[in-house]
Amino acid sequence: MPGEPNVSESSSATRSAAAAGAAQSAGARAHSPEGAAAETHVLGGPASALALALVMFVEAVGYGVVAPTLPFLARAAGAGEAQIGFLVGLYAAVGLLAGIPCGALANRYGRRSLILVGLGCLAVASFGFVFAPTYLWLVAARFVQGLGATAIWVGSLTMAADLSPDSHMGRSLSWITGSWSLGFVVGPALGGLGSVRFPFVLYAVLALLAFVAGCVALPETGRVGVRSALAGILRVLRYPAVLASAAATFALSFFYGAIEAFVPLFVDEMNVKRIGIGFLFAIAGLPSIILPRFTGQLADRVGDARLIIGGLVYAALLNGAFLWLAGAVPLWVVFFLLGLVEVLIYVPAVALLNRGMQRDERVLATGSHTYAFSAGFFLGPLIGGLLMPLGSYPLLFATLTAVMVAAVAGFFIWRRRLVAA
């Protein structure tokens, strides 16, 4: 069961227990004749793998397209820095409300259905951004976008974990995070095209295409009809591996939420045009295309927690040096360094969350992961917007450094307590 003393690696007892549940464990399938054949296929085979990759790619395009568009749409609607921070963070705040309920719905009605509903929400939200006449309309569209993203994350990550053998969880899920990262590269580049609203027209078309592909190729991996009791939800949320993964995810999303809300405005003050801002954010996504398979293998080999701690330390150092780097080296180098933070923390955090997890509990664990991401991505822009009038960018990056340092300290303390237990 997740939550054994060593957070960074699933114990052999955990893997044995998971394998014993042959009806529910991906590890058991790997030991059967059918599992041996299935293990040669990534994420259940080419059709389901491509469909899942497309879904995550499309969700990430919507995430990335915001950087060169939404702060400027909000500013044109008369929004101040605090309102811009709220609008950017609202996407994640919805996840605070919907993460665990989406997990329960995925158990009740199926992972596939949840993914398709999420794609529909993304298409509706995109048209909302296109036609929004006021700031409040932008808020409504962002809310729907956040609801769709939450449904997709919970459904897709759970389905991917269902289709992955436990011993190769890091490598298998790296394909999902890699697809998302590719979308994050394309999204900002797309956001720099045409008028500030035109990119959302293209994104609506992408979401509808992914919906059709999902209808055709996505399998149903869960036991549809399973009801999620409150006691079961609370039990999963107490697993140390779930809590450790959530802590790392919170720190990462706090960082990226603040970056996405205010770094476009910082770069704009350096006379970089909107298409250039999109290009820079596209560069920030490159490490997560190039490196997720390597970091997944590294997490399988050295342990998830060790890799997470290394990523948090790197992020703290980068935040402390960001303003100096922005004036000392080309901006594309700075953004590439920013992109390394995601691949060093997120891949092992997702792997840590899913190792040894029973299938009916896995979707609830993924819901908790969504809560952690949403809390960080909401609070990062919100707190950043409140701090900016007080100390501008130096105070913002000092705060981001402090968050990473606190996460590192908390991770070490947490691991010692778990080992002592």
pTM of the model: 0.65
At residue 32, the pLDDT reads: 40
Does residue 243 register a pLDDT over 60? yes
Does residue 311 register a pLDDT over 50? yes
Is 6 inside a domain boundary? no
State which residues form the domain around 293.
43-219+229-420
At residue 224, the pLDDT reads: 52
Locate 9 and state its tokens.
Answer: 């690696």
d(CA 44, CA 175): 12
DSSP, res 43: G
Q: Is 90 left (phi over 0), alpha (psi -120 to 50) or beta?
A: alpha
SS3 326: helix
275 vs 219, 284, 319, 384, CA distance in Å?
38, 14, 25, 24
At residue 368, the pLDDT reads: 66
Is 20 inside a domain boundary? no
Q: What is the pLDDT of residues 322-364, one digit of tens each?
A: 999 998 999 999 999 998 998 888 888 877 776 666 666 666 6
Mean pLDDT of the chain: 78
SS3 23: coil
Does residue 241 contact residue 6 with C-beta atoms inside 8 Å? no
DSSP secondary structure string, 155-205?
A: HHHHHHHHTS-GGGHHHHHHHHHHHHHHHHHHHHHHHTSSSSSHHHHHHHH
239 vs 87, 154, 175, 232, 233, CA distance in Å?
33, 18, 26, 11, 11
Is 34 inside a domain boundary? no
Q: What is the pLDDT of residues 361-415, one digit of tens each?
A: 666 666 667 778 878 888 888 898 888 888 889 999 999 999 999 988 877 776 6
DSSP, res 78: T
Is 214 inside a domain boundary? yes
Is 83 inside a domain boundary? yes
Question: In 3-state terms, the chain is what percent helix, strand and coil (to 5)?
Answer: 85, 0, 15
Locate 61 and state its tokens.
Answer: 């395009």
d(CA 136, CA 12): 53
d(CA 120, CA 216): 15
Burial 366-401 (b: 16+ CB within 10 A, else e): bbbbbbbbbbbbbbbbbbbbebbeeeebeebbebbb
Is 184 inside a domain boundary? yes
319 vs 7, 176, 185, 211, 403, CA distance in Å?
27, 27, 21, 38, 10
Q: How many helices (H) and strands (E) does the chain have?
A: 18, 0
Per the structure, the count of domains in the chain is: 1
- CATH number, domain of 330, equals 1.20.1250.20
Is 158 inside a domain boundary? yes
Is 104 inside a domain boundary? yes
d(CA 188, CA 285): 9
Does residue 1 register a pLDDT over 70? no
Does residue 207 contact residue 58 with C-beta atoms inside 8 Å? yes
Q: What is the pLDDT of residues 188-217, one digit of tens each?
A: 888 877 788 888 899 999 999 999 988 888
